[in-house]
Amino acid sequence: MANATVRGRFVWHELYTPNRAGSQEFYGKVTGWKVQAWDQDPEYQMFAAKTGPLGAAIEDRTGTPQWLTYIGSTDVDATADAATRAGGRVQMAPTSLPNGGRYAVLVDPQGATFGVHASAADSQPETAAKTGEFSWHELASNVAPSAAFGFYAALFDWDLMTEFDMGPTMGTYLVFGRNGRQLGGMFDHSKQGRPGAYWLGYVSVTDLEDSVERAKAARGSVLAGPMDVPGGDRIAQLMDPYGAFFALHKVAAQGAAAETPKPAKKAAAKKPASAKRPMKAPAKKAPAKRAKPAARKKTKKAPAKKKAARKPTKTKAKAKPKKKAAKKAKKRGR
C-alpha cells in the first residue's frame, strides 16, 4: 500500500559553514538558489530554488563544514526511540519548532548523521525533483549496504528497489525508494579504504558541465566527474570553497525524473554532514537554534554510481533549524 505521508521523504537540507554569506553567494552561482528569510525568524536564512525553499545556511565557525539532510517522520520522538533501539543514537533530542513542527538529529550505527522532521502542515503529493532541487541521496557507509539499509528501512519504511555489482572496488550498490520511486543509493566505501559514514545529496541541474565550470570559477573544487553513470545520467561531486561536500546531477532526459537506478561513483570524496519547508537542526555540537517552516515532500531518484568521494573534513548528502525560541546548539557528527 502506498505511503501518502511524509515519512521517508527527504524534506530539508541545512548547510553548516564558517561563512554563510560566502556560501550563499557560491551556491547561488552554481545552482541558481536565492536567499530567503524565514517569516517566523528572519535570522534563519533559507536557500530557495524556483520552486521554493529547500534548505538553509547556518554559520558555524567551530565545527566541520557540512550538509545535514533531514528525512520526514510522522512522529519524531518515536523515530528517535526506534533508532536508539536499532543501534543508533540521538545527537540532538526531539525539539519543537515555532510553527508546530518537531525535529531531532540522529546518528546511525555506522556513524552517519541525519535529521528527522515532522511538520504540522498536511502532507502534499510526492513529485519528482525539479531543476534546482535535491534529486538523489546517497549513503556511503562502512558496512555492506544491505546491513545499512535495514536500519533505515525500519525507521522510514523504505523499499529495496534493486542492487548492482559495481566490481571489487565498490562492491554492491543498493538502490532504495518508496511508492515505486527511487530515492537514492547505498554502498560500502570502506572497500576503497574510506573510513566513516555519511550522506551525500545531489542537486538537479540542466547543464552539468556549465554548472561545474561555475563552481570552479567561484573557488569550488571538483572531486569526481563530470561522468556518466548507469541509466544515462551524468554526475559530478564537488566541494564548496569552505569545505562542505555536495554533488550535481543531470538526468538523461530532463523531466523523465530519473526512474533509472543510479549507482554511486568511484571517486573519492569528502564527507558531508548532514522539502520545501525549513526545519533547522544542528550538526555536531549541542543543539543549534532553529526555526523553520514545515517540511517538504519531494523526492526523486537520481544519480548513478559514483566513486566514493573523500570525506571532507566534515562534510552523493538524492531530505529539507534555528529557532527563535529554542536553545542554540550545533551538533554535527559524522
Chain segment 228-238, per-residue pLDDT in tens: 988 889 999 99
C-alpha 219/C-alpha 225 separation (Å) is 17
Average pLDDT over residues 77-82: 98
Q: Is residue 77 part of a domain?
A: yes
| End-to-end CA, the chain | 34
**Torsion sign over Cα 287, 322, 139, 5:** positive
253 pLDDT exceeds 90? no
Q: Which of 37-51, 154-168, 301-315 has the lowest mean pLDDT?
A: 301-315
Q: Is residue 334 part of a domain?
A: no
What secondary structure letter does DSSP report for 104?
A: E
The pLDDT assigned to 122 comes to 67
Average pLDDT over residues 2-10: 86
Number of domains in the chain: 1
The pLDDT assigned to 231 comes to 80
Q: Is residue 323 part of a domain?
A: no
Query: Sorting pLDDT into bands at 50, 70 and 90, what band is 115?
Result: very high
Q: Is residue 302 part of a domain?
A: yes
Average pLDDT over residues 262-272: 40
The pLDDT assigned to 121 comes to 76
Average pLDDT over residues 317-324: 39
Beta carbons of 285 and 332 less than 8 angstroms apart: yes
Beta carbons of 198 and 141 less than 8 angstroms apart: no
The pLDDT assigned to 2 comes to 61
**Torsion sign over Cα 24, 289, 155, 309:** positive
Q: Report which of residues 295 and 116 the model is more confident about.
A: 116
Q: Is residue 4 part of a domain?
A: no
- Which residues, including other chains, have CB under 8 Å from residue 139's CB and lie 6 or more apart? 112, 145, 148, 152, 184, 185, 186, 187, 197, 198, 199, 200
Average pLDDT over residues 117-135: 85
Q: Residue 205 CA to chain centroid, in angstroms?
A: 16
Q: Is residue 59 part of a domain?
A: yes
- Return the SS3 of 334: coil
The mean pLDDT of the chain is 80
- Return the SS3 of 166: coil
Number of H helices, E strands in the chain: 4, 18
Query: Sorting pLDDT into bands at 50, 70 and 90, what band is 132?
Result: very high
Task: Quote the percentage of the chain above a pLDDT of 70.
Answer: 74
Q: Which secondary structure element, helix H or strand E, spans residue 76, and what is its range?
A: helix 76-85
Q: Is residue 96 part of a domain?
A: yes
Its domain, for residue 49, covers 10-307
CATH number, domain at 137? 3.10.180.10
The pLDDT assigned to 230 comes to 80
Query: Sorting pLDDT into bands at 50, 70 and 90, what band is 96?
Result: very high
Q: Report which of residues 190 and 156 the model is more confident about.
A: 156
3 pLDDT exceeds 50? yes
The pLDDT assigned to 262 comes to 47
pLDDT in tens, 140-179: 999 999 999 999 999 999 999 999 888 888 889 999 999 9
Cα 78 to Cα 84, 104, 319: the distances in Å are 10, 11, 19
Average pLDDT over residues 35-39: 93
Q: Is residue 254 part of a domain?
A: yes
